[in-house]
Amino acid sequence: MENEAAPEPTAVEEEVGAYVDQATAKASDLYETAAALITEHLFSIQSIYQLAVIGLSLFLALIAHRAFRRLIANVRERVEGSHLADRLLRTCESVSLPIVWVIAQIFGSNILLALGYDVYLVRLISSLLRAYIAIRIVTIFIPSAYWSSVFAWTAWSIAALNAVGLLDPLIEFLRGASMEFGEVSINAWTVVKGLIVTGALFWVAFILTDMISKRLETVETLNSALRLLISKIARIVLIVLAVVLGLSTVGVDLTAFTVFSGAIGLGIGLGMQRAVANLVASFSLLADKSLKPGDVIEFEAPQGATYGVVGKMTTRYVSVRTRDGTETLVPNETLISNPVTNWSYSDRRVRRKLPVGVSYDCDVEHARALCLKAAANCKRVLQTPPPACLLKGFGDNSVDLELRIWVGDPEGGVSNVASEVYLNVWRLFKEHDIEIPFPQRDLHIRSGQFPTESDPQE
């Protein structure tokens, strides 16, 4: 049989093949450029003199750095307790070595130039050190350690590529790696630039949000719930602006996203309805001021009634710290749709009713006075409103009293206050011979004829 002819490549295959060949050629050019730089400036006789200058300047910098560290340690002891000052001193300590190293290299490079030698390696190391110094100083203003590390590595990589002359070839290579989706063309450089610009705008947005939050904390006319609501709205608005500005900066046409608006709306309606419900519920809780950080609440949980102090309020949940030391994360939707007892909604004072039973043989008035004294001896019991002891009724075994007390700090717990008052009542009743009765039953046996041994047994 004759061999069948190979099928003709399709237009898509031809386009992909051309794209691969183009990318391979650009990568080869980039590799050749890097190899030429290494061969020209590293493997040469003059590089030995430059490496000697770099090593000698490093030795001198280490000696000066050791003396500078002792000076920094003495200053740090004097400003102990200031976080900002300590961070600035740590930064000065970390950049002192590269600063002295750069200064020493400047003198060394001038000597090499006077002797007619090349100073490419010396200038390269000096450029990298100056970039390190600038990056280290900028990271002082980035509060997050993670994002500070991300910024440092990104900026350092860009500075290193620029110092060796590979940044422009790399950018050209990324621009050539493009893909087309209809009339829209996206290249790798656009994606990288968009990520960098958007990341920087996000950082600015978070800094502005923190500044707004700290500024709101100083406004005494706003309560904590309203301050938190304004802070959350400002954060969302700034993040949306950061995304929009980031996409616009790299030249992305925002009208192209209108095609996906229907799909996004449908996805939110089906897959994210609970998340959206919690988001809306969080704004409702803050807007109507029904909950705010520091409130003492009680609500029904799967394990039973839960009592605790409201801590962090996010767009998804409310953190409630219980008396057991645990954090219960309650979805906002749950707090909106279910009854919640807010013990400090309008007044932080709460009243507790403590039943007390005394014997019918004791002096009831004296027992009531002792109960009031027991409540007065408890530090957390308020004297305004004053404690009260009422006679509630005559029970089967005791005269039923009820001691009513007020507590002004429910976040400290109320059961422990009741326990302390009960212990005081117990001690005072013991001292004054007031009997606390317990249930008793009288058994009456009716007289009758009992069977004898002669009686027939069934």
User: What confidence tens digit (pLDDT) does each residue in 380-413 have?
Assistant: 899 888 999 999 988 888 899 999 999 888 877 7
Least reliable range by pLDDT among 159-168, 326-335, 397-406? 159-168
Residue 8 has pLDDT above 70, yes or no: no
Residue 1 has pLDDT above 50, yes or no: no
Q: Are residues 102 and 114 in the same domain?
A: yes
Q: Residue 394: helix, strand or coil by DSSP?
A: strand
Q: Residue 11: helix, strand or coil by DSSP?
A: helix
Residue in 299, 347, 310, 307 with CA at minimum distance from that of residue 323: 307
Task: Tell me how far apart the alpha carbons of residues 76 and 289 are, in angstroms, rounded to a whole number.
Answer: 45
Residue in 35, 27, 29, 36 with CA at minimum distance from that of residue 188: 27
CATH classification at residue 361: 3.30.70.100
Q: Are residues 15 and 153 in the same domain?
A: yes
* Helical ranges in 177-301 per DSSP H: 188-217, 224-249, 261-271, 273-287
Task: Tell me how far apart the alpha carbons of residues 187 and 174 are, in angstroms, rounded to a whole number.
Answer: 7
245, 201 Cβ separation under 8 angstroms = yes
Q: What pLDDT, on the 0 to 100 scale, is given for residue 425?
A: 92
Once rounded to an integer, what is the mean pLDDT over residues 305-317? 81
Looking at the domain assignment, is residue 205 inside a domain? yes
Give this prediction's pTM. 0.44
328, 320 Cβ separation under 8 angstroms = yes
Q: Are residues 32 and 151 in the same domain?
A: yes
Residue 189 has pLDDT above 60, yes or no: yes
Percent of the chain topping pLDDT 70: 69
Once rounded to an integer, what is the mean pLDDT over residues 314-338? 82
- The number of C-alpha atoms within 13 Å of 225 and in the hemisphere containing its C-beta is 16
Looking at the domain assignment, is residue 212 inside a domain? yes
Residue position matching structure tokens 């004053």? 386
Once rounded to an integer, what is the mean pLDDT over residues 37-60? 71
Q: What pLDDT, on the 0 to 100 scale, is given for residue 125?
A: 78
Looking at the domain assignment, is residue 235 inside a domain? yes
401, 358 Cβ separation under 8 angstroms = yes
Q: What pLDDT, on the 0 to 100 scale, is given for residue 74?
A: 74
Looking at the domain assignment, is residue 1 inside a domain? no
Maximum mean pLDDT: which of 66-80, 111-125, 410-424? 410-424
Q: Are residues 133 and 214 in the same domain?
A: no
Q: What pLDDT, on the 0 to 100 scale, is given for residue 321?
A: 85
Task: Tell me how far apart the alpha carbons of residues 278 and 318 are, in angstroms, rounded to a whole number.
Answer: 10
Domain count, the chain: 4
Cis peptide before 385 (omega within 30 of 0): yes
CATH classification at residue 311: 2.30.30.520
Residue 457 has pLDDT above 60, yes or no: no
Q: Are residues 24 and 162 in the same domain?
A: yes
By the 10 Å C-beta count (0-12 exposed, 13-18 middle, 19+ buried), 458 is classed as exposed
Q: Are residues 356 and 333 in the same domain?
A: no
What string of DSSP letters covers 314-372?
Answer: -SSEEEEEETTS-EEEEEHHHHHHS-EEETTSS-S-EEEEEEEEE-TTS-HHHHHHHHH
Q: What pLDDT, on the 0 to 100 scale, is given for residue 426?
A: 93
By the 10 Å C-beta count (0-12 exposed, 13-18 middle, 19+ buried), 64 is classed as middle
Residue 272 has pLDDT above 70, yes or no: no
344, 309 Cβ separation under 8 angstroms = no
Residue 178 has pLDDT above 80, yes or no: no
Q: What is the pLDDT of residues 336-373, one digit of tens each?
A: 888 888 877 777 788 889 999 998 888 899 999 999 99
Q: Are residues 330 and 366 in the same domain?
A: no
Q: What pLDDT, on the 0 to 100 scale, is given for residue 139?
A: 74
Q: What pLDDT, on the 0 to 100 scale, is given for residue 83?
A: 61
Least reliable range by pLDDT among 50-64, 134-148, 310-324? 134-148
Q: Residue 247: helix, strand or coil by DSSP?
A: helix
Residue in 48, 41, 136 with CA at minimum distance from that of residue 94: 136
pLDDT band at 80; cut points 50, 70, 90 = low
Q: What pLDDT, on the 0 to 100 scale, is given for residue 81?
A: 58
367, 433 Cβ separation under 8 angstroms = no
Q: What pLDDT, on the 0 to 100 scale, is given for residue 186?
A: 67
Of residues 28 and 324, the one with the higher pLDDT is 324
Residue 152 has pLDDT above 80, yes or no: no
Once rounded to an integer, what is the mean pLDDT over residues 193-220? 78
Looking at the domain assignment, is residue 448 inside a domain? no
By the 10 Å C-beta count (0-12 exposed, 13-18 middle, 19+ buried), 435 is classed as middle
Q: How many other CB atoms are there within 10 angstroms of residue 50's CB atom?
A: 25
Which of the listed residues 286, 320, 342 is the one where a domain comes to its end?
342
Q: Are residues 216 and 132 in the same domain?
A: no
Looking at the domain assignment, is residue 265 inside a domain? no
Structural domain harbouring 70: 11-181
Task: Tell me how far apart the alpha carbons of residues 30 and 36 are, in angstroms, rounded to a whole number.
Answer: 10
Looking at the domain assignment, is residue 3 inside a domain? no
Residue position matching structure tokens 């001193």? 89
Task: Tell me how far apart the alpha carbons of residues 24 and 30 are, in angstroms, rounded to a whole number.
Answer: 10
Q: What pLDDT, on the 0 to 100 scale, is given for residue 458?
A: 46
Of residues 292 and 140, the one with the higher pLDDT is 292
Which of the listed residues 290, 318, 342 is the one where a domain comes to its end?
342
Looking at the domain assignment, is residue 451 inside a domain? no
Q: Which residues contact 212 (CB under 8 A, 6 or more apart)?
A: 230, 231, 234
Least reliable range by pLDDT among 329-333, 377-381, 440-444? 440-444
Percent of the chain topping pLDDT 90: 8
Q: Are residues 333 and 227 in the same domain?
A: no
Q: Are residues 125 and 28 in the same domain?
A: yes
Q: Are residues 90 and 215 in the same domain?
A: no
Which of the listed residues 256, 288, 318 is the one where a domain comes to its end?
256
What's the mean pLDDT when you consider all of the chain?
Answer: 75
Q: How far is CA 321 from CA 151, 294, 409, 411, in A?
A: 36, 10, 15, 10
Q: Residue 110: helix, strand or coil by DSSP?
A: helix
Provide the total of helices (H) and of strands (E) in the chain, helices listed first.
Answer: 13, 10
Of residues 430 and 249, the one with the higher pLDDT is 430
Q: Are residues 35 and 167 in the same domain?
A: yes
